[in-house]
Amino acid sequence: MEGQDLEEMIEEDLVAERIAIESYSEMIRFVGDDDPTTRTMLEGILAMEEEHADDLAGYLEDM
Ligand SMILES: [Fe+2]
């Protein structure tokens, strides 16, 4: 789905970031303590996705 204006586009991007956050969180739970290196890598990606979501939520607050 494509947004009609900037606010809608940002809202849709925020939904996508939240889906990514949920997916990486699920992968981290799946890996558990079996593979610390993979877990650390996934946690790094999750931190970036959380930052993206925070940025987008901040833009929406400022609108
Ligand atoms: Fe992202």
| Chain centroid to CA 46 | 7
Kindly state whether residue 45 falls inside one of the protein's structural domains.
yes
Q: Is the pLDDT of residue 4 over 90?
A: no
Distance from the CA of 26 to the center of ligand 1, in angstroms? 16
Distance from the CA of 5 to the center of ligand 1, in angstroms? 20
Domain range enclosing 52: 6-24+36-62
What's the structural domain count of the chain?
1
Distance from the CA of 13 to the center of ligand 1, in angstroms? 8
Kindly state whether residue 29 falls inside one of the protein's structural domains.
no
3-state secondary structure 5-39: CHHHHHHHHHHHHHHHHHHHHHHHHHHCCCCHHHH
Kindly state whether residue 1 falls inside one of the protein's structural domains.
no
Kindly state whether residue 56 falls inside one of the protein's structural domains.
yes
| Chain centroid to CA 55 | 11
Whole-prediction pTM: 0.89
Kindly state whether residue 17 falls inside one of the protein's structural domains.
yes
Per-residue pLDDT tens digits for 5-63? 999 999 999 999 999 999 999 999 999 999 999 999 999 999 999 999 999 999 999 99
| Chain centroid to CA 35 | 22
Kindly state whether residue 12 falls inside one of the protein's structural domains.
yes
What the block records as the tokens of 38 is: 């993979």
CB 5 within 8 A of CB 40: no
